[in-house]
């Protein structure tokens, strides 16, 4: 775990403890890395409800309620899919917030319209889901780390925006 992701996780933990928020994760290409970073901080059991590694489309559909139509029209690696994954994770785990990732970490699996390194990440709360698309291919491990970091950044941005509204 990089110092930066550990710092992000610690900041998230402090806010979630203070506010009493709950969190779930729905990961595809990051394969549980986001959950591992979150739970590396002592006390995360006070707010982290759980997660699912949804590599297969049927898992996205059955556990996270991603629509068949979304997967057929947009594909698993799309903004629409990660938004549905976030909403499905919130529902499945009865949490207020969720993070989702789906992409092509590599080294294979890319296509001309979705090359290796194309990764969508999302973070969502009660009223809002924010997303980001990564497009750089720096090798599988770096791609996963970049997606993990971006997912944590989005979640932190989302909860900080909520705090500033209050």
pLDDT digits (tens, 9 = 90+) for 93-125: 999 999 999 999 999 998 889 999 999 999 999
Q: 162 pLDDT exceeds 70?
A: no
What gap in Å lies between CA 41 and CA 89, rounded to an integer? 21
Report yes or no on whether pTM surpasses 0.85.
Answer: yes
Domain count, the chain: 1
Q: 77 pLDDT exceeds 90?
A: yes
CATH of the domain at 108: 3.90.950.20
What gap in Å lies between CA 39 and CA 110, rounded to an integer? 31
Domain that holds residue 31: 3-165
């Amino acid at each position: 775990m990089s110092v930066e992701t550990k710092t992000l996780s610690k900041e998230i933990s402090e806010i979630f403890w203070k506010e009493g928020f709950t969190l779930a994760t729905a990961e595809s290409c990051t394969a549980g890395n986001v959950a591992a970073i979150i739970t590396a901080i002592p006390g995360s059991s006070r707010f982290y409800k759980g997660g699912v590694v949804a590599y297969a489309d049927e898992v996205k559909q059955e556990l996270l309620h991603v629509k068949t139509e979304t997967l057929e029209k947009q594909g698993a690696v799309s903004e629409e899919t990660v938004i549905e994954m976030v909403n499905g994770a919130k529902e499945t785990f009865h949490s207020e917030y969720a993070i989702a990732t789906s992409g092509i970490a590599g080294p294979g699996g890319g296509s001309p319209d979705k090359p290796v390194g194309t990764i969508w990440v999302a973070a969502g709360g009660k009223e809002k889901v924010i997303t980001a698309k990564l497009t750089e291919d720096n090798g599988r491990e770096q791609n996963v780390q970049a997606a993990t970091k971006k997912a944590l950044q989005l979640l932190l941005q989302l909860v900080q925006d909520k705090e500033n509204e209050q």
